[in-house]
């Protein structure tokens, strides 16, 4: 099931606005993650410059952009990341919260520009993403 | 700017450009040995990014050379299986090895050559040892040992960096991870070299010698298994395999496959990146100066070296069904090679990819660890060792000077160094 092109345009626009207003979103996204999942903080003990967190977040954005367009690899990447993160003691239920958390930050940065269309596009896309997070078995999905 | 690569590329570019595409065999080993691979991959990315080689010393195979196509294969384990081996194997060498070893060893049997659902639990049995939490415990020991290695190096006299530093550091770390007898640690890189080389290359003189070395390696690890399985569970890799319900009853061939994976994976990749960092910084003195002036650049320099060196040039898979990729149809049963070394130089994904730039905007954007369920399980250990060794180097030596041409591996798989002559100058 591909993302509706209108939803894809809307999500891209919301990301552009967030990028323009928030700059590098690494600090705000991970601060929120650690606030809600404090046990995740110690996994990043080496990351004193935020380089690891920054690249992970960039990969999340790359995956979202591929997912809403061509879907060349993002859906499969998400499924495999659930598996590899479990190896780092990141349970699937924690992994599952990350896309929603990114969407929250994007919404806040959009402020008064956040539209009902954006809310709907993100809601549909998050539900679609969740399908892959919840079902890492590629043979089944 | 990497002058050596540019000159060699210019020398071979005409030859490469004149070769009919169907005759182009990107895995030709002498190009890796001579560091003349780059025009091949540049041409393939430009003209035929999903490329079929119908005849070669490896049999027929597909080459995938662009970042996004590699991602598509690497993350799709349902369509691309690892069960028949993850590297291109020279068919004549496999036949010779089978004669000596008396059995088929193509593919091995460790968790890297497993598909789901067997793969996940087997990988999970070892991943806690290599996860960030455990590395935090290991880091002080790695730092102490790295310091000991560096403090023992000769000053003002030529020596082989690969032998005295790269192999030694990885041997020490691997011995710690396995809780392997520390005084015998250098057997670990030696076994790795024996496993990965053919006669006439590395330390391998004959198939017989290679077979004996593998036999010795497996015997040593059987002994370790027997010790650990009868002892209380501990935090080393062998104990974890011996006590985890997912792996404790695995067939001995699977255990041997895991041993090979952990020795080679823990050895060749890290050690060749350590050597590669010294070589690349010497070829790019402006970058070396930047690093000396700002040690905060160690972390991005490590990532840039991992991209630039790409210590494992490829991984391969076999299609489980017909798959469309880049406008081509890969048939069920055909072998597909993902050239990470090419993806890491994909101009559409990495700006100025042929240059070694330690302060890139996205230094960690590389595919050297792979993606998907087989993404390198030891990637954090590798990064930790590389970071620590460079922190300790910069505390001690303003310069490590490469004083001769390195000898590269004879391999289209392990992209690294047999030797790298260096001198640490006296301080003035």
pLDDT value, residue B10: 41
Please give the mean pLDDT across all residues of chain A.
91
**From the CA of B132, how many Å to the nearest CA of chain A?**
5
Going from the C-alpha of B52 to that of each of B22, B56, B325, B333, the distances in angstroms are 7, 11, 12, 14
B364 contacts chain A (CB < 8 A): yes
Residue B165 CA to residue B168 CA, distance in Å, equals 5
The tokens describing B249, both together, are 């009853």
Distance CA B95, CA A111 (A): 66
Lowest mean pLDDT among A109-113, B100-104, B189-193, B333-337: B100-104
Q: Name the pLDDT band for B1 (thresholds 50, 70, 90).
A: very low
Mean pLDDT of B404-408: 96
- pLDDT range class, residue B428, cuts 50, 70, 90: low
Please check the confidence at residue B108 and state whether its pLDDT lies above 60: no
The rounded percent of chain B whose pLDDT value lies above 70 is 95
Banded pLDDT at A51 (limits 50, 70, 90)? confident
Instruction: Give the model confidence (pLDDT) of B283-330 as tens digits.
Output: 999 999 999 999 999 999 999 999 999 999 999 999 999 999 999 999
**B71, B123, B136 member nearest A45 (Cβ):** B136
Nearest residue to B323 via CA among B313, B315, B314, B333:
B333
Average pLDDT, chain B: 91
**Res. B99: pLDDT tops 90:** no
The verdict on a CB contact (< 8 Å) between B373 and A83 is: yes
In chain B, residues 293-352 whose CB comes closer than 8 Å to chain A: 296, 299-300, 303
**In which band, very low, low, confident or very high, does the pLDDT at B12 lie, cut at 50, 70 and 90?**
low
Q: For B118-149, how does the pLDDT look when each residue is reduced to its tens digit (9 = 90+)?
A: 888 888 888 877 877 778 888 998 999 999 99
**pLDDT of residue B104 exceeding 60:** no
What is the mean pLDDT of the segment spanning B371-393? 93
The pLDDT assigned to B109 comes to 66
Question: Are the C-beta atoms of B75 and A77 separated by less than 8 Å?
Answer: yes
Q: What backbone torsions phi and psi does residue B174 show, to the nearest 5 degrees?
A: -65, -40
Return the pLDDT at B6: 39
Torsion on CA atoms A16, A17, A23, A26, rounded to nearest 10? -80
pTM of the predicted structure, to 2 decimals? 0.92
Are residues A43 and B132, on separate chains, in Cβ contact within 8 Å? yes
Tokens of B83: 């069960």
Q: In angstroms, rounded to a whole number, what is the distance separating the alpha carbons of residues B292 and B397?
A: 10
DSSP chain A: -PPPHHHHHHHHHHHHHHHHHHS--HHHHHHHHHHH-GGGGGGGTT-TTSHHHHHHHHHHHHHHHHHHTT-SSHHHHHHHHHHHHHHTT--HHHHHHHHHHHHHHHHHHHGGG--HHHHHHHHHHHHHHHHHHH---TTT-
With pLDDT > 70 as the criterion, what percentage of chain A qualifies?
99
Percent pLDDT > 90 in chain B is 73
> Which residue of B76, B133, B371 is in closest CB contact with A42?
B133
CA pair distance A72, B79, nearest whole angstrom = 14
* Closest CA relative to residue B380, chosen from B269, B277, B291, B246: B269
Inter-chain residue contact B384 with A46, CB threshold 8 Å: yes
Q: How many residues in total does chain A contain?
A: 141
């Amino acid at each position: 099931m591909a993302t509706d092109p209108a939803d894809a345009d809307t999500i891209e626009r919301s990301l552009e606005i967030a990028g323009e207003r928030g700059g590098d979103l690494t600090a705000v996204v991970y601060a929120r993650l650690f606030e809600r999942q404090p046990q995740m903080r110690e996994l990043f003990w080496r990351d004193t410059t935020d380089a690891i967190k920054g690249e992970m977040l960039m990969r999340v954005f790359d995956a979202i952009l591929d997912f809403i367009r061509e879907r060349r690899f993002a859906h499969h990447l998400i499924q495999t990341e659930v598996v590899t993160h479990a190896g780092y003691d990141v349970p699937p239920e924690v992994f599952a919260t990350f896309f929603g958390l990114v969407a929250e930050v994007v919404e806040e940065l959009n402020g008064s520009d956040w539209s009902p269309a954006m809310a709907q596009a993100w809601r549909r896309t998050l539900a679609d993403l969740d399908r892959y997070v919840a079902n890492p078995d590629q043979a089944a999905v | 700017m990497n002058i050596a690569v540019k000159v060699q590329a210019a020398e071979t570019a005409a030859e490469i450009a004149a070769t009919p595409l169907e005759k182009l065999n990107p895995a030709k080993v002498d190009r890796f040995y001579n560091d003349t691979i780059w025009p091949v991959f540049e041409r393939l990315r430009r003209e035929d990014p999903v490329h079929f080689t119908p005849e070669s010393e490896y049999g027929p195979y597909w080459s995938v050379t662009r970042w996004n196509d590699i991602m598509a294969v690497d993350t799709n384990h349902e369509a691309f299986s690892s069960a028949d081996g993850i590297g291109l194997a020279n068919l004549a060498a496999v036949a010779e090895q089978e004669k000596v070893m008396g059995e088929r060893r193509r593919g091995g049997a460790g968790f890297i050559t497993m598909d789901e659902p067997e793969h996940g639990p087997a990988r999970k049995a070892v991943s806690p040892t290599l996860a960030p939490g455990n590395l935090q415990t290991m880091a002080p020991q790695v730092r102490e040992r790295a310091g000991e290695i560096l403090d023992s190096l000769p000053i003002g006299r030529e020596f082989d960096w690969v032998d005295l530093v790269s192999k030694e550091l990885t041997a020490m770390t691997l011995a710690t991870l396995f809780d392997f007898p520390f005084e015998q640690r250098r057997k670990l890189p030696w076994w790795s070299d024996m496993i990965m080389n053919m006669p006439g290359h590395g330390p391998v003189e004959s198939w017989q010698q290679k077979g004996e070395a593998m036999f010795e390696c497996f015997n040593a690890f059987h002994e370790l298994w027997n010790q650990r399985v009868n002892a209380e569970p501990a935090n080393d890799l062998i104990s974890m395999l011996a006590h985890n319900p997912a792996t404790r009853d695995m067939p001995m061939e699977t255990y041997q496959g895991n041993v090979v994976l952990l020795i080679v994976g823990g050895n060749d990749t890290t050690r060749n990146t350590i050597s590669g960092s010294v070589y690349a910084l010497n070829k790019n003195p402006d970058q070396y100066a930047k690093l000396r002036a700002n040690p905060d650049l160690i972390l991005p320099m490590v990532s840039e070296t991992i991209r630039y060196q790409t210590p494992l040039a490829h991984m391969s898979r076999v299609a489980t069904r017909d798959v469309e990729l880049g406008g081509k149809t890969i048939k069920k049963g055909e072998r597909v090679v993902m050239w990470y070394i090419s993806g890491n130089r994909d101009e559409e994904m990495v700006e100025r990819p042929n240059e070694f730039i330690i302060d890139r905007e996205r230094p960690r954007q590389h595919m050297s660890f792979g993606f998907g369920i087989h993404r390198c399980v030891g990637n954090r250990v590798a990064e930790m060792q590389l970071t620590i060794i460079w922190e300790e180097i910069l505390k001690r030596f303003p310069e490590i000077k490469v004083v001769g041409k390195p000898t590269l591996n004879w391999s289209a798989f392990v992209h690294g160094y047999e030797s790298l002559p260096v001198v640490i100058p006296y301080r003035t």
